[in-house]
Amino acid sequence: MQWVLIFMVIAGGMGLSVEAGLLGPLGEKVGDLWATFSVFGVGAVLTFLLMLFFSPRNSPSFFSQPSWKLLGGVLGPIYVIILTVVTPAIGVAMTMIGILAGQVFKSLIIDHYGLLGTPRRKINNKRIIALIFIIAALILVAQG
């Protein structure tokens, strides 16, 4: 089962690369904020339709959740704006490797301390080496 989940995450990452490749040119044509809005507008409609047909009717209220849990709604547009602005300047590969480096670095900290309600997973040498390889990839692609 874990391999299925890993494959799903890899496929999601591939989707993000395609999204970055689409957003850059769209942002150059219609403006960065309109391109970002298109992602969230289409996404909101799609999510609403999925909720209508697949969401449990007795789930806890969205508005009863602590406000800090809603920060993803603020971080998402910032992330997409960064993709839209940066990708045309540095390319999809550099953008994605930079995003990955930031994600892994922050993820290691979140896991290590068990932040945001996640289980604690200590930073070890293998995780540090993985981060070093990602940073090395960033440096190598920047020089290529």
Identify the pLDDT of residue 132: 97
78 contacts 105 by C-beta, under 8 angstroms:
no
Identify the pLDDT of residue 56: 82
Identify the pLDDT of residue 90: 94
Per residue in 48-77, pLDDT tens? 999 999 988 787 887 888 888 888 888 989
> Which of 3-12, 47-56, 127-136 is the most confident on average?
127-136
Identify the pLDDT of residue 144: 79
Identify the pLDDT of residue 58: 81
> Token match 């009717």: residue?
57
Q: How sure is the predictor about 124, in pLDDT bands with cuts at 50, 70 and 90?
A: very high
User: What pTM, to 2 d.p., does this model score?
Assistant: 0.82
Using the predicted structure, report yes or no on whether residue 1 has a pLDDT greater than 90: no
Identify the pLDDT of residue 66: 87
Look at the alpha carbons of 62, 47, 8, 18 in this order and tell me if their dihedral is positive or negative.
Answer: negative
CA distance 7 to 3: 6
Residue type, 55: S
